[in-house]
Structure 1
Amino acid sequence: MPFLGILEDRKLRHVPGTVVLEEGADHVRSGTITGRLKHGSGRNSHIILIPQPSDDPNDPLNWSTVKKLTAFGVTSFGCILYAAVISGMLNSVWANMSLELDTSIARLVQTNGYQALVVGVTGPIFNALARKYGKRPIFLSASIICLVANIVGSAVNTYNGLLTSRILQGFAIAPYESLIFTLISDMFFVHERGVYAAWINFLLAGISNLVTVVTGPIGTNLGWRWIFYLMVLFTGIQAILQFFFVPETSYNRNHQLDLDEIGNDEEKGELDEKRIEGAEASMISHTENLEGAIPSSSATSTPIRPKSFLENLSIVSGSFSEENLFQLCLAPLAVFSNLAVAWVIVVNSMFVCFYVVIAFVLSQLFSAPPYLMDPTSVGYLSFGPFVGGVIGTVVLGATLDPFIIFCARRNKGVYEPEYRLVFSIVSLTCGAGLIGWGVVVGKHDSPYAAATLHGLMLFGVMIACVTSSAYALDAYRSMAAEIFIATMTVKNLLVYGFSYFQNNWVAEAGVTRVFYVWGGISLGLSLTAPIVFFYGKRYRSFWARHNLLEKWHIRTHEE
């Protein structure tokens, strides 16, 4: 049985996702794995690189650290602006806007819902286009669309004008909310992904709560239009940086290099061979096939030349898939047939929505008696969840990757993706925070206590989202793009639905009762994680043997 009690599979010699991660374990024989597979450098020289990079210097896995971090940093800036700031940038000024635009707060909140609906509907389309033509043209298009949307928002005087701006913004959110996760698997190896997954989840959840801290004073002192003016400035800068410093990261790598995705269909024989030797034997077999699978630059008369800076500026770099666009649009829906993937999608979607349901009612509850807060004070309430998000990010960023290396070492060098889920039980703090927040606000107690419980809630959100996202990247990397598109679609459709009833529900039933419901749902979802942890490997084996996507001829990975 693998370390920490993960249930062993009895069907396959090697289950996709299970890999020999660390050199030096007592089962690795000299001259087999260690002599043929590429390893990390420096302090990670004992770590086997999963997936294996090709010999092409243009392979994103082979990019320099500076180039990787620059591309990831600029796209993260876009993630902040489009996926984190846009949706919540007006939450603290709804009360003021309702007076100026002569409409209700509930109706203004619905503009967030329509925006989320656009994001959810367009997500699969953007994913299909990214799979077909690469991610670079999609990111650039999104940046330009959002720039136009912000210009429109800065000039409108009516509710319909605001709605038009919010809908246009929705077209820009989808790529930066979901495709950015696939950049992690495009450019980074298994042992590096945890910290980047934690960072992206922090941008999507933590920064979203800091937005009102900034926009609240702007709305109070300068007016809500200045929020749009500043967004025009920053989205224009980001679009320029995205064009010059983020090359295409999609790459058609030989599938034999994806050691984490390749399984061994042979039925297992004796029990004592089933785990370590199966993983090792499969990797050795594919390692032998790699010799000659990818042309080596040293073995050719014309070495592969790195692309120049000008060549990297090309917006479209050709086609990355032979599938038709309709089939690619279906792929994010088809991944629901995998139960483990469906669990990841539901957990990510719902936990993100748990902080959205608070954001919807902040202005409604704290602008009214007995609190009577102005937009600046309402915005400051988000310091609590921001701090909770920071703590969650720091904890997971510092521990998640070292922890899985520790687990692999204790597991005789074999890494199981389920190790990413060990910390997920801590997400129970989300449910506790939701219930506590509802009680405190329902009793009109200290807003500082409410902000603290809001932070506890977001800490749990970070734990749930980071661990499940990292698990999806490692256990089902071939479906990563589709998984995060599906997550984004479900989440935004839920937000659209919540925008129709959350504010009215709180007004009619009371904030305490409403958040007892949300807290109970959160606690229930957190308690499902141990099931996936203990049975995840067996299900990965089952999926490898009964892959419905293959039966339906839907491809999520180009070889």
Structure 2
Amino acid sequence: MAFGILDIQDGAHAPGTVILDEKAANIQSANSTLKHGKGSNSHLVLEPQPSNDPNDPLNWPQWYKELHLWVVVLGTILNGALPGPLLNAGFVEIASELNRPLVDLVKTSGYLLIVTGASGPFVSAISRKWGKRPVYILSSLMAIVAVIVGEVATTYSALLASRVVHGLAVSAYESLTLASVGDLFFIHERGPRVAIIMVMITAIGNGISIIAGPITSRLGWHFNYHILLPFVVVQFIAVVLLVEETAYNRNPRSGLNHDPFLETAPGGSGIKTTTPDKPDSTEMIEFQGSDTLTIPKRKAFLQRLALYNGPYTRDSFPKMVLASIVIVLNIGAAYSIIVTGVIIAWYVAVALISSVIFSVPPYSYTAAGVGYVSTGPLIGGVLGSFFIGATLDPTATWMTRRNKGVYEPEFRLPLVSVGAVFSIAGLCGFGHAIQDQRSVYLISFLWGMLLFGMTILSTAILHYVLDAFSRHSTEIFIMNMVFKNFFYYGVTNYIVQWYAMAGPASLFDALGGITAAMCCLTIPMYIFGKRYRWFWHKNNLLVLLKLITVEREEN
């Protein structure tokens, strides 16, 4: 038992459990074929193990990986985080200009969310079948179309059309970006990058009102689209030229850090060697084969610009659509999907009703003033990102060293407790501060505390599922996005009425209680997570239902 994590009784291997630190494991490199980190990380076994192919994304130069990721992150900002809250601060003014009830304007965000969610399973299947590059390119193109329609919209119907098209653009960048991190980076490199992406999705989404509010108040809401257009065009060009395909069918033998835990060596060519101090029932396998592989050359730049290089799987498209839905029957996936989806929905709730709260007495702010109140959550989200980025990997590394060098994905979960404390305090404090008509500075601070906590706990949970069920990361993140957006849609339909009927204190106390209950689910997930990973490996429903090929499960 490592830090309270129940081990598998028969000593079998649970996928996701790896020897990450050979120095702490007190073993010499019994397997010279395993690749290690460089410099101060030379004692770390790389996971996943890269192939010898220069086209393998894990082998790309570090600067190129970062460039690739930052172009995608820019898309996450412009096409993922920004469209939903773009008009929030100006809903009251836009409703007056278009002569529509305020609730109709709020629902345009709901329609954007439901389109984003409904397109999710198809995005998953396309990215699995033909790769992520064509999905990113198409999403960026759809964003340009949506912005142009928004620029010229003079009626509610035209604005609604813009929001619906924008919903199609959001889907890929809200779900596939985290999966791309898994394609590009090793386990010990992912923490800060996942944190950055989460702050883009949460804090930037709230902080955009700081800019959009004054623009709406002084220039009109159309100028939000006028200003946004050149940015989305530049991002589209950058995606076409700089974001190549990260999907890669890696040879099973390149994933040797999984094989050491298997009971028998495949094909009789592996020689099983057990370490003197066998940590956590772990074994190392050394392959001594004489067969050689032909290493291909790096593809030319123009070849890498191909729209797609697939197909990457023999699975049929309808089966892959269904697989992304069935994955919710995986308890670990369901835990991450429901907990992060429900909790992050509260920041959407606050953002949606902020215009209602601060546009009426005693605050009576204009769209610009409503936007400025969002300074608190922007700062809170950024600080939360810095905190989790600085502590997530070091915490997991510390626990790995004290577990004799063996890494468990559950080592990501302890920091959920930190995020839970700040999230619950922020929610309850925000509601009571509004109820008591406290200073707007205090309200903004509590809003920031809420985003600080949400960024921490959502990053920790999503990082856990990325490491624990990496083979299904695309389906899991897609369904996370689907659930989140459908749940958001429900929030947009009822949150304003709930606020009006119950009052802010009662509303946000209820949300705080739900958050506490959701976070408590982390305890059994932490304790029994390893056993469940082994159970899923032996009883994978996607394989049993023949929704994916066995070959894919083994890779």
Q: Deviations over 1:287-346 (max 9, x none)?
A: 517x5687253xxxxxx2111221111111121111111011011211111111110111
| Residue 40 of structure 1, CA deviation | 0.7
The alignment's TM-score, normalised by the length of structure 1, stands at 0.93
Determine if the alignment matches structure 1 residue 480 to structure 2 residue 443: no
Q: For residue 319 of structure 1, what is the aligned residue in structure 2?
A: 311
Gaps of 5+ in 1: 298-303
Given that residues 19 and 259 in structure 1 are in contact (C-alpha distance below 8 angstroms), is that contact kept between their aligned partners in structure 2? no
Determine if the alignment matches structure 1 residue 295 to structure 2 residue 287: no
Q: For residue 279 of structure 2, what is the aligned residue in structure 1?
A: 276
Q: For residue 254 of structure 2, what is the aligned residue in structure 1?
A: 257
Gaps of 5+ in 2: 265-274
From 414, 423, 443, the counterpart of 1:422? 414
How does 1:166-315 map onto structure 2 within 5 Å? Answer: 166-259=163-256, 266=263, 276=279, 278-279=281-282, 281=283, 284-285=284-285, 287-288=286-287, 291=289, 295=293, 297=295, 304-315=296-307
Moved over 6 A (4+): 272-275
| Residue 16 of structure 1, CA deviation | 1.0
One-letter code of the match for 2:293? P
One-letter code of the match for 1:15? A
Q: Deviations over 1:24-77 (max 9, x none)?
A: 23542x3513x2310011111111000110000000000001110111000100
Determine if the alignment matches structure 1 residue 342 to structure 2 residue 334: yes
| Residue 11 of structure 1, CA deviation | 3.0
Given that residues 60 and 249 in structure 1 are in contact (C-alpha distance below 8 angstroms), is that contact kept between their aligned partners in structure 2? yes
| Residues in 2 aligned to 1:257 and 1:376: alpha-carbon distance in whole angstroms | 55
| Residues in 1 aligned to 2:474 and 2:237: alpha-carbon distance in whole angstroms | 25
Given that residues 16 and 262 in structure 1 are in contact (C-alpha distance below 8 angstroms), is that contact kept between their aligned partners in structure 2? no
One-letter code of the match for 1:451? S
Q: For residue 437 of structure 2, what is the aligned residue in structure 1?
A: 444
Q: Deviations over 1:366-416 (max 9, x none)?
A: 001111001111011111111111111111111211221221111111001
Q: For residue 301 of structure 1, what is the aligned residue in structure 2?
A: none
Given that residues 34 and 257 in structure 2 are in contact (C-alpha distance below 8 angstroms), is that contact kept between their aligned partners in structure 1? no
From 472, 480, 491, the counterpart of 1:498? 491
How does 1:60-139 map onto structure 2 within 5 Å? Answer: 60-139=57-136
1:152 to 1:254, Cα distance in 2 relative to 1, 3 A: same
| Residue 275 of structure 1, CA deviation | 6.8
| Residue 348 of structure 1, CA deviation | 1.5
Q: For residue 15 of structure 2, what is the aligned residue in structure 1?
A: 16
**Secondary structure of the structure 1 residue equivalent to 2:12:** strand
Given that residues 78 and 232 in structure 2 are in contact (C-alpha distance below 8 angstroms), is that contact kept between their aligned partners in structure 1? yes
1:263 to 1:520, Cα distance in 2 relative to 1, 3 A: farther
Given that residues 19 and 416 in structure 1 are in contact (C-alpha distance below 8 angstroms), is that contact kept between their aligned partners in structure 2? yes
Given that residues 254 and 293 in structure 1 are in contact (C-alpha distance below 8 angstroms), is that contact kept between their aligned partners in structure 2? no
| Residues in 2 aligned to 1:294 and 1:343: alpha-carbon distance in whole angstroms | 43
One-letter code of the match for 2:15? P
| Residue 255 of structure 1, CA deviation | 2.7
One-letter code of the match for 1:328? M
| Residues in 2 aligned to 1:488 and 1:524: alpha-carbon distance in whole angstroms | 21
From 442, 454, 472, the counterpart of 2:447? 454
| Residues in 1 aligned to 2:372 and 2:253: alpha-carbon distance in whole angstroms | 52
| Residues in 1 aligned to 2:547 and 2:258: alpha-carbon distance in whole angstroms | 16
Q: Which moved more, 1:495-504 or 1:89-98?
A: 495-504
One-letter code of the match for 2:129? K
| Residue 82 of structure 1, CA deviation | 1.0
One-letter code of the match for 2:214? P
Given that residues 205 and 389 in structure 1 are in contact (C-alpha distance below 8 angstroms), is that contact kept between their aligned partners in structure 2? yes
What is the aligned length? 541
Q: For residue 151 of structure 1, what is the aligned residue in structure 2?
A: 148
Q: State, as a whole percentage, how many aligned pairs show the same letter.
A: 37
From 160, 163, 174, the counterpart of 1:163? 160
Given that residues 427 and 461 in structure 1 are in contact (C-alpha distance below 8 angstroms), is that contact kept between their aligned partners in structure 2? yes
Q: Deviations over 1:237-276 (max 9, x none)?
A: 1000111111111111113333566685659xxxx99972
Q: For residue 398 of structure 1, what is the aligned residue in structure 2?
A: 390
Q: For residue 548 of structure 2, what is the aligned residue in structure 1?
A: 555
1:385 to 1:117, Cα distance in 2 relative to 1, 3 A: same
**Secondary structure of the structure 2 residue equivalent to 1:185:** helix
1:5 to 1:397, Cα distance in 2 relative to 1, 3 A: same
Given that residues 419 and 453 in structure 2 are in contact (C-alpha distance below 8 angstroms), is that contact kept between their aligned partners in structure 1? yes
| Residues in 2 aligned to 1:504 and 1:105: alpha-carbon distance in whole angstroms | 12
One-letter code of the match for 2:228? M
Q: For residue 300 of structure 1, what is the aligned residue in structure 2?
A: none
| Residue 546 of structure 1, CA deviation | 2.0
The alignment's TM-score, normalised by the length of structure 2, stands at 0.94
Determine if the alignment matches structure 1 residue 528 to structure 2 residue 521: yes
| Residues in 1 aligned to 2:433 and 2:203: alpha-carbon distance in whole angstroms | 22
| Residues in 2 aligned to 1:86 and 1:360: alpha-carbon distance in whole angstroms | 13
1:473 to 1:157, Cα distance in 2 relative to 1, 3 A: same
| Residues in 2 aligned to 1:99 and 1:414: alpha-carbon distance in whole angstroms | 60
| Residue 347 of structure 1, CA deviation | 1.3
1:500 to 1:175, Cα distance in 2 relative to 1, 3 A: same
Q: For residue 360 of structure 2, what is the aligned residue in structure 1?
A: 368
| Residues in 2 aligned to 1:433 and 1:470: alpha-carbon distance in whole angstroms | 23
Q: For residue 352 of structure 1, what is the aligned residue in structure 2?
A: 344
**Secondary structure of the structure 2 residue equivalent to 1:408:** helix
**Secondary structure of the structure 1 residue equivalent to 2:244:** coil
Given that residues 12 and 265 in structure 1 are in contact (C-alpha distance below 8 angstroms), is that contact kept between their aligned partners in structure 2? no
One-letter code of the match for 1:157? T
